[in-house]
Amino acid sequence: MMSFASIGCRIVCVLGIALATAETSLARVYSPRIISTRIADAYSAKTFANHPVWKDLAPAERAKAMFEYLTDNDTGLYPLGAGAVEGPDKTYEYGLVRDPIKIINVYGYGYCDVFGPVMAGLWEQGGCGQARTIDLPGLKHVACEVQTGDQWRYLDIDLRGTFQSPDGTLRSLEEARRDNTLWERDRAPRFFPMDDLTKLHKQFVDSKVEHRYSVAPAGHTMDFVLRRGEKFTRWWQPQGGRWLLNPDDVKDKARKELLEREPRGPKSKHAEFSRHTYGNGQFVYEPNLTGNAADFEDGVFDSHNVAVTDKGLALIKPGDGWAIFEVRSPYVIVPLIGKLEDPKDDSQASIVEIDATEATLAWSPDFGDTWITLESKQWPATVDLTAQVAGSYGYLLKVGLKGKPATAAVRSLKITTWVQLAPAALPGLQEGENVFELRTGDHYGLPTRVLSIQPNATDENAFLHYLLRAPKEYDPSSRSARAKGPMIARLPSLPKSKIAWLSAGASFAMDIGPNAPPPGNSIEYAVNVPRNFQPLFVDGPNGVNSIGRPTAQSHWHYNVDREIKLDQPADAVYVRYDGRPALNSYRLFAHCIDDVSSPDTPLQVTHRWTETGQSREHSQTLEVGAGSYQIQAGAQPINASIELAIPSAR
């Protein structure tokens, strides 16, 4: 996972003419996304909750509409029988992906222990009210209940089930355990369509019921920046077998067979639950580095002693120089999968093609804290970074030059990066008139770029690296009580930017049982200097933004993420965590606004689809803030791809 630490102290001002016209030549578009009237804006839980279809409904009706959307065979999630796993922390609670925005946009699949927390997380993180995850140990099953008024409403994405009165009112699990009439219905698409109702009814009644709160983490948003010379294409269908493989899938015979079935990769274990499998995206960044400096100025992350010339990106004066380019995706970077049992034959996750003289290459997984040399025996060079970056959300590429301005140069650069996505979240065409809208920026309407710190808590160096103050006790080998006591992390801004808002989160521990004391875990923040901390979260009966558990928590682990928009943009924010009884991991997301603003930049949008076997295409240039546009589609259109691009200044 991408992370930052102390980058402000390493930033070197760009020399020479390369940034001489920066104020007038930047052409970035921040988090562009095409929204249809039918597809919810899943940039964040807040934008998802604001979907016009349900945002003005009464709470109970809103819950039903959101559930129907998430269980629809065109817009919903589907059961694979397992979840996606990310990162180096092998502990189940911390590796399993349950962030609602990742599940909706990146994966689109999971199983009950993913879907229960995701539904609850969407409800709470979107500001809709309180929710809880339901555990039924007798069934080895997990679902969700959301609260509307003083009533709980049972929502089961995995089994596709709700309990409803004859008038359609959603009911709770407890009511369904007491009231047999709530089971006196025929199986239906949203009433346990795959289950024996008599058997399931008995299991629901007989099973113990446990409650968990705040299971789903938050913080991930669909931020990325499109630059001059860059295009981003997303396909509804798999492109050759590119996905993030969960190693446990190979060990499960049934799941392995499901993955090997065409199209190769994840798909619903119940085909009727979804018309989709999975999709792919491709970023292609190819800036013009000869003659016109606009592409370089717009896309470079940081540089020293280099400038664009007629011969390419060259040294300004003899010696050393370098340019750093960022690869950043809101979707997970994935390879072309070879044999399921052997990741060594995976390929093409991110490929760098470069033509240069007297150059070196290096990459960084942590925004410059660590640079790892990439060997190239000849130029032009093609470097496949699959082994380094598959499963991550980005990296930095450093191109170094050494020698004389007349000889050391980069003539061309092309970076092609493949990602995985959930096609149900894409703005597809339907028969007739389709209305689309270009939206940009974050959920505050700001043109921000995101920086994330999500260290591996099982690695002592990684965990402590971002801390100004270490916790009193820290045991990276522990599963449930890693860090105890206060600790302070520094969250810097991106280069040439300031933090406009942030999300601070952690995975906390708590004691459970009838005589267990309430947790005292907390999160506080301070702007620019580490003093005068303000509370973001203090757990307990009289806490600040606390969990507020109305029933007993059945599990030792829970997640907390809190967001704050700053009164004024800041160079850095300090976050103080206090693990009482313990903290097991932490995460920080800074949303940064650039010091130099970009003018509204036209964006080329291209929809591609087929009708009766014939290829169709609609392409147009959209101005940011231009409003909606329409596309007329014929009978039974089959969506192929949607492309966003900013042409190079050639």
Q: Is the pLDDT of residue 458 over 60?
A: yes
Report which DSSP code applies to 424: G
Q: Is the pLDDT of residue 570 over 80?
A: yes
> Confidence class of residue 408 from pLDDT cuts 50, 70 and 90?
very high
Q: Is the pLDDT of residue 16 over 80?
A: no
Which residues have a Cβ under 8 Å from the Cβ of 174 and sit 6 or more positions away?
152, 209
Instruction: Tell me the CA distances in angstroms from 236 to 22, 107, 262, 275, 425, one per residue in order.
Output: 37, 13, 15, 11, 10
Other CB atoms within 10 Å distance of the CB of residue 431: 12
User: Residue 626 has what pLDDT?
Assistant: 75
Polymer length in residues for the chain: 650
- Extract the tokens encoding 112: 């009950």
Every domain of the chain with CATH number 2.60.120 lies at 8-31+222-243+278-422, 456-587
User: Residue 625 has what pLDDT?
Assistant: 80
Instruction: Tell me the CA distances in angstroms from 46 to 58, 97, 166, one per residue in order.
Output: 17, 19, 32
SS3 of residue 15 by DSSP: coil
Inter-residue contact 286 to 352 (CB < 8 Å): no
User: Residue 508 has what pLDDT?
Assistant: 98
Model pLDDT for residues 484-532, shown as the tens digit of each residue: 999 999 999 998 899 999 999 999 999 998 889 999 999 999 999 999 9
The type of residue at 123 is W
- The stretch 393-406 carries a mean pLDDT of 95
The residue with tokens 């039924």 is 136
Inter-residue contact 623 to 602 (CB < 8 Å): yes
Average pLDDT taken over every residue of the chain: 93
Q: Please choose, from the candidates 428, 432, 436, the residue with its C-alpha nearest in 3D space to the C-alpha of residue 629.
A: 436
More confident residue, 455 or 626: 455
Query: Is 37-212 assigned to CATH 3.10.620?
Result: yes
Segment holding 177, helix H or strand E: helix 173-178
Inter-residue contact 257 to 246 (CB < 8 Å): no
User: Residue 6 has what pLDDT?
Assistant: 35
Inter-residue contact 118 to 110 (CB < 8 Å): yes
Every domain of the chain with CATH number 3.10.620 lies at 37-212
CA 264 to chain centroid, in Å, comes to 23
Percent of the chain scoring above 90 in pLDDT = 89
* Residue 493 to residue 512: CA distance in whole angstroms: 38
* Residue 199 to residue 464: CA distance in whole angstroms: 51
* Residue 421 to residue 279: CA distance in whole angstroms: 5
User: Residue 481 has what pLDDT?
Assistant: 96
- The stretch 19-25 carries a mean pLDDT of 39
> Confidence class of residue 20 from pLDDT cuts 50, 70 and 90?
very low
Q: Kindly give the pairing relationship between strand 78-79 and strand 109-110.
A: parallel
> Confidence class of residue 649 from pLDDT cuts 50, 70 and 90?
confident
User: Residue 540 has what pLDDT?
Assistant: 85
Instruction: Tell me the CA distances in angstroms from 522 to 221, 455, 582, 584, 589, one per residue in order.
Output: 23, 19, 10, 13, 17
* CATH code of domain 8-31+222-243+278-422: 2.60.120
Other CB atoms within 10 Å distance of the CB of residue 348: 18
Inter-residue contact 492 to 39 (CB < 8 Å): no
- The stretch 316-343 carries a mean pLDDT of 96
- The stretch 223-248 carries a mean pLDDT of 97
- The stretch 596-611 carries a mean pLDDT of 92
Q: Is the pLDDT of residue 298 over 50?
A: yes
Inter-residue contact 363 to 372 (CB < 8 Å): yes
CA 149 to chain centroid, in Å, comes to 31
C-alpha dihedral sign at 305, 308, 309, 312 = positive
* Residue 244 to residue 106: CA distance in whole angstroms: 10
More confident residue, 562 or 376: 562
* Residue 493 to residue 450: CA distance in whole angstroms: 9
Does 52 sit behind a cis peptide bond, omega within 30 degrees of 0 on the bond before it? no
Q: Is the pLDDT of residue 5 over 70?
A: no
More confident residue, 272 or 5: 272
Widest pairwise Cα distance in the chain:
84
Prediction pTM value: 0.94
CA distance between the termini of the chain: 34
User: Residue 27 has what pLDDT?
Assistant: 85
Among the four given CATH numbers 1.20.120, 2.60.120, 3.40.50, 1.10.10, the one describing domain 456-587: 2.60.120
Model pLDDT for residues 158-187, shown as the tens digit of each residue: 999 999 999 999 999 999 999 999 999 999
SS3 of residue 158 by DSSP: coil
User: Residue 624 has what pLDDT?
Assistant: 85
